[in-house]
Structure 1
């Protein structure tokens, strides 16, 4: 296991302090006058049980392009099927993380179980007891059974073509027993996670005119969902936004004010980045951008089946808990979005901000601003991928048919990156360019996601 050195790259490269020196004043909630000291940013990535991937990975995954061959990469093919379903999903970002975890954890436990039963090198299971697995079953048959059971249960669709192709590739052993085992694993996991949803409307402030307050009703359905790996919802909860009267708040207020306004003269690069990561209907949604990135890397340089399905399972667990932790933080802090903060800056007590009722963002969210789940997903996804694959500078591109859902941009966008860190940084910038998050939120949320990713790597699906 190796740790990288702490880094403050995201803060340093902006050089904001020249105009607004960063203050140490922070608040536990958006309505508290007490402020604990801020902590230094940490960027730690863990290499657990794997060697770095050598060379440059260059490939483009078009979401509606040629499918992965289930005979050679069934893990990617089933994840492609999942992404295709998500592109038709009309809900928010949280449900797709749950569904991705159900799919990939079931596939992992099914494959890992038959490998363990055959007394070969394997990993700790997430939920399924491998002592019950058939020792003479081909792993791909178990994978096929688990994947098909989850997908048909979640979507009510038929996936017979992918199922049959995966089973055909499952050479040797008792394929029927393997498929049955996979379906049992999936059924047990679905039952284990069947208590997911709560209901209710959360109103975070008593007075609609209160400064710093998110002013709309919001249903925090995932704020109380049982985490997949975390010991508590608040385990990695960030400290909260800076005090409204602080220089740090003013610095980031001005950044989004200047770069997040809809219309006007903006670099086309900023427009493309904002649209690409926005997560509009028809896209994979923000958390599953990291699933698509993983598919891109695996299609170019695949891992053995058990290692690859473990990677997707680790990723999915981290993304699911990043969404849960992010929702918990939103319910805790109830912080206002930039649109409200700019329209009502005359209430924030900060002499370096000013109210502008004409300012409009490119988009604004329907949930409290702090933390950002997109940034949490990015931190978690990048931590897992770099922890398993290493921190090599491998180039990749992805997107192709990712739709932005906005007029004039429906032709889709492809983005190119020199590294996973490059993609992460761009995703953080995107929420500034779209005008619906502050930089302090993106930084804190990314750090929370990284901590979740590291937690998953350290404590789950470890080599036996």
Structure 2
């Protein structure tokens, strides 16, 4: 266990950094309360970094629990705790009465975050306790601090209780690989014995009414022209040491070949700090983002294990011109990034999450243009720069072709699914409060 904590400490010290160019805020709502160039430490960002460090620590995340659940619970608790004091938007799940207006939002955020993460990652309690002490040391002592801590702990306990029987602890459903053309099969070169997260579509969504709410239609038939075109595109561009992909395209495939939700949390941290968002604004941004991403994963696993469509590496090695004369087999084909993610192909996770993350950020900041850089999760120190949020999302999506992971139709369908999920969250959750705050009457 000490080895895990050592790795965690190193990750905390060396979190990937994103840089941000000039990007004026579109309206006063998203301006920081202090116009000074020196901003207070944003505790929402600080605790998001703490969770990023945990999930990057080998062995810390349970293999059968998707990490987006932890981010959603963390930020649901932070948001409802801070919003119980701020009261500018509707609560997500927990409404408290009698909360003083002068309670510390920062203390509430830190206490809620600590309470959630200790419950989800008890092996890290000592490190998390130290992080809480550091957070609270930045807040002046007094009744407002004490009250903020109480609010944060209370909300966190309620959020944790509400998610305690959400199906995330269920054992994965045993999977039987298919054998017919188009069926998902274990992929070379490592041939995993079982795919991942076969039960995840049965987890209770955070915002969606059901996992299948935006389930897409099926992938194209193997005999279709659209399948043949997508097949030949990835066969040419996604193979290891491709002679048709440019050096930059091959780098793109490798650059984004990490946990895609981490990239979008990092991007959001950069935007939050660059805009000097208040604690309440940051709490809402990260809650919107991570409620969307958590439900993205539930929704795309519903689709993946509904259609059970084969991965490109299987399709290319087993292609049959008798089914589609445009598809010719290459029995030795392997993807640029080496291995294939251990789940079925349709739709593509990177596409879903990137479309969703971009939708949330563009909606929140009310513009797409931004000059910023992203550091890779898997290529230490390697950055790529962008001039818009949508450009980053598009590149992250197309990277799965260059990495040899997904057909183009996996990605276009995934983008629609991601936007649908994010739009549902944005339209129905954490919306502005109108009129007199109900909690004032209690």
Structure 2 residue 256 is matched with structure 1 residue 298? no
2:335 match: secondary structure: coil
Structure 2 residue 251 is matched with structure 1 residue 275? no
From 263, 268, 271, the equivalent of 2:241 is 263
Other-structure match for 1:149:
115
1:403 & 1:287 partners in 2: Cα distance? 10
Other-structure match for 1:374:
350
Residues 220 and 204 (structure 1), Cα distance of their counterparts in 2 relative to 1, 3 Å cut: same
Other-structure match for 1:224:
202
Other-structure match for 1:248:
226
Report the TM-score, using the length of structure 2 for normalisation: 0.81
From 317, 335, 360, the equivalent of 1:343 is 317
Q: Offset at 1:174?
A: 2.5
2:429 & 2:278 partners in 1: Cα distance? 19
Other-structure match for 1:390:
366
Other-structure match for 1:125:
91
Count of aligned pairs between the two proteins: 381
Structure 2 residue 158 is matched with structure 1 residue 188? yes
> Which whole-Å deviations, capped at 9, do the CAs of 1:21-68 have from their partners, x for residues lacking one?
xxxxxxxxxxxxxxxxxxxxxxxxxxxxxx7369xxxxxxxxxxxxxx
Q: Is the 8 A contact 1:111 1:306 kept in 2?
A: yes
Report the TM-score, using the length of structure 1 for normalisation: 0.78
1:93 & 1:462 partners in 2: Cα distance? 32
Other-structure match for 2:424:
455
Residues 185 and 203 (structure 1), Cα distance of their counterparts in 2 relative to 1, 3 Å cut: same
Q: Is the 8 A contact 2:92 2:430 kept in 1?
A: yes
Query: Please, which moves more after superposition, 350-359 or 128-137?
Result: 128-137
Q: Offset at 1:308?
A: 1.4
1:460 & 1:434 partners in 2: Cα distance? 35
Q: Is the 8 A contact 2:76 2:92 kept in 1?
A: yes
Q: Is the 8 A contact 2:200 2:298 kept in 1?
A: yes
Q: Offset at 1:356?
A: 1.1
1:70 & 1:161 partners in 2: Cα distance? 23
Decide which structure has greater helix share: 2
> Which whole-Å deviations, capped at 9, do the CAs of 1:75-114 have from their partners, x for residues lacking one?
1111111111121145569621001111111111101012
2:98 & 2:315 partners in 1: Cα distance? 56
Q: Offset at 1:346?
A: 1.0
Unpaired segments ≥5 residues, structure 1:
1-50, 55-68, 117-121, 280-284, 405-409
1:109 & 1:463 partners in 2: Cα distance? 13
Q: Is the 8 A contact 2:347 2:413 kept in 1?
A: yes
1:320 & 1:356 partners in 2: Cα distance? 37
2:322 & 2:90 partners in 1: Cα distance? 51
1:152 & 1:86 partners in 2: Cα distance? 13
From 212, 230, 239, the equivalent of 2:217 is 239
1:348 & 1:154 partners in 2: Cα distance? 52
Q: Offset at 1:115?
A: 2.3
2:324 & 2:417 partners in 1: Cα distance? 27
Unpaired segments ≥5 residues, structure 2:
1-24, 29-37, 187-193, 434-442
Question: What are the equivalent positions in structure 2 for 1:82-231 lying under 5 Å apart?
Answer: 82-90=51-59, 95-116=66-87, 122-131=88-97, 133-156=99-122, 157=124, 158-171=127-140, 173-195=143-165, 196-203=168-175, 208-216=178-186, 217-218=194-195, 219-231=197-209
Query: Please, which moves more after superposition, 361-370 or 435-444?
Result: 361-370
1:447 match: secondary structure: helix
2:305 & 2:169 partners in 1: Cα distance? 15
Residues 199 and 449 (structure 1), Cα distance of their counterparts in 2 relative to 1, 3 Å cut: same
Q: Is the 8 A contact 1:97 1:288 kept in 2?
A: no
Question: What are the equivalent positions in structure 2 for 1:20-31 lying under 5 Å apart?
Answer: none
Q: Is the 8 A contact 1:70 1:166 kept in 2?
A: no
Q: Offset at 1:165?
A: 3.6
Residues 228 and 70 (structure 1), Cα distance of their counterparts in 2 relative to 1, 3 Å cut: farther
1:416 & 1:173 partners in 2: Cα distance? 45
Other-structure match for 1:425:
394
2:180 & 2:312 partners in 1: Cα distance? 15
Residues 146 and 348 (structure 1), Cα distance of their counterparts in 2 relative to 1, 3 Å cut: farther
